[in-house]
Every structure is written in structure tokens, then in C-alpha cells.
Amino acid sequence: SYVLTQPPSVSVAPGKTARITCGGNNIGTKSVHWYQQKPGQAPELVIYYDSDRPSGIPERFSGSNSGNTATLTISRVEAGDEADYYCQVWDTSSDHVVFGGGTKLTVL
Amino acid sequence: QVQLQESGPGLVKPSETLSLTCTVSGDSISSYYWSWIRQPPGKGLEWIGYIYYTGSTNYNPSLKSRVTISLDTSKNQFSLKLISVTAADTAVYYCARQGVGGGRFFDYWGQGSLVTVSS
């Protein structure tokens, strides 16, 4: 089965840039989606199809995907960005959904 | 605005069956994929399975032997049944809508329903 690997935690100072990676075998050939989950809340889609932003998501959120790594980039990080972030793909060969293990973003 | 709402017992005894229903409003259930996802306390997201509006299903292999997802188009609802539960099935259970495009991302989620397995 397909596996997605995320770092457990990333820390960043306010105003700086946070990069959260999602590793997978040839993940660049798949569409990657990213979710933000704050404590006690359901996940929220922040990036889909590698780099598209849903309506209402700030332009500070961007995504890229190439080779074996997809990256969620958050520019000018704010305290309100502190959350868990999950990457997700659809494994077409098995028709299964796969989530990464999640990354806790801490704003220092 | 599409809204999803989970409902069902918050406490289930070990070896019994967990049953949850997701009621969809603001859109017809007769399109899209509809999934269940769970999250054990303090842990990550785990996809349980989906049902397509045609009735076709697909499940996470780790749960496949115990899971059934069904659809009631007349009530705009879909449901989850998980048999022979243990403490390891304690989790927040989310229902979510999944697009039909190539990426199959989840664009709408329910608020989540905590189910505790305990005697």
C-alpha cells in the first residue's frame, strides 16, 4: 500500500516561512491535498491538486509537488496558523485514500 | 452551503457494533463519493471507506472485514457499521464529501462524533 511520510513537528517564528513536507514514492505523479486541523475541530482543506487554494484560504498558503516530495508552504506565519497539517492522496491503483501521519506546526 | 452531520451512540460496548449516520444537507447525496474517516485521540486521520452514489463501495484493507457503508438516498444519508469493536476503535468519526475528479479530495466534513468503546 502507498505510504505518505510527514515530519511529526515543524516550528517557525511569526512572520517567517514554514515548509511542511510529505514524502511518497513518485508522489509527483499524484495529486496531493492538504488539510489544516485545529484542536477540537474537523480538518479543513487548504490546498488541493498540489497547489490550488479553496475560496477563503489566504494566499499565504501554497503548495508544490515534484519527484518524491510534496510541500506545503505557509508564508508570513501567524499565531492562528498553529495547527496539525495532513497531506492526502488518492492511490489510483487500489482506489484507496491515503493520509500522511500529520505534522504539528508550532508558532514560536 | 453543504453541511454534514454525524449522529449515533457515543458509547459502544466491546464486541458490539458501532453504528453512525451522516445526514447531508445543501446538496443531493445522489452524486459524489461519501466517506468515513476516523481519528483516535491524539493520533492522525485514518480513512475507513467510501460509498459512491451508485452504491459501490471501497474500504481500507485494515478494516474491510468489519466495515459496511450504506446509502439512503430518500433521506439524503449514508451510514457506517463497524462490527466486533474493541478499545482500539475509540475515535472521533468524521463523515466527508469527496469530489469525483481525479484528485478525490475532501471538500466538506462533518463536525465529528466521538465514539468510545468501553464496558
Query: Chain B residue closest to A88 (CA)?
Result: B105
Interface test with A, best of B3, B33, B106 (most A CBs within 10 A): B106
Q: Do A48 and B112 touch (CB under 8 A)?
A: no
Mean pLDDT across A31-37: 97
- Give chain A's end-to-end CA distance (angstroms, integer): 36
Q: Is the pLDDT of residue B2 over 80?
A: yes
Q: Do A96 and B61 touch (CB under 8 A)?
A: yes
Q: What per-residue confidence (pLDDT) applies to A104?
A: 98
Query: Chain A residue closest to B4 (CA)?
Result: A42
Chain B contacts in chain A segment 1-40 (CB below 8 A): 1, 31, 33, 35
pLDDT-derived band at A32, boundaries 50, 70, 90: very high
Q: What per-residue confidence (pLDDT) applies to B30?
A: 85
In sequence order, what are the beta bridge partners of A52?
A: A48
Q: What per-residue confidence (pLDDT) applies to B114?
A: 98
Q: Which three cell numbers stand for residue A69?
A: 516530495
Q: Which three cell numbers stand for residue B54?
A: 451508485
Mean pLDDT across A79-100: 95
pLDDT-derived band at A57, boundaries 50, 70, 90: very high
pLDDT tens-digit series, residues B6-30 = 999 999 999 999 999 999 999 989 8
**DSSP string of chain A, one letter each residue:** ----B--SEEEE-TTS-EEEEEE-TTGGGS--EEEEE-TTS--EEEEBTTTB--TT--TTEEEEEETTEEEEEE-S--GGG-EEEEEEEEETTTTEEEE---EEEEE-
Q: Is the pLDDT of residue B103 over 90?
A: no
Q: Is the pLDDT of residue B101 over 80?
A: no
In sequence order, what are the beta bridge partners of B46?
A: B38
pLDDT tens-digit series, residues B46-93 = 999 999 989 999 999 999 999 999 999 999 999 999 999 999 999 999
> Which residues of chain A does B113 touch, with a Cβ-Cβ cutoff of 8 Å?
none
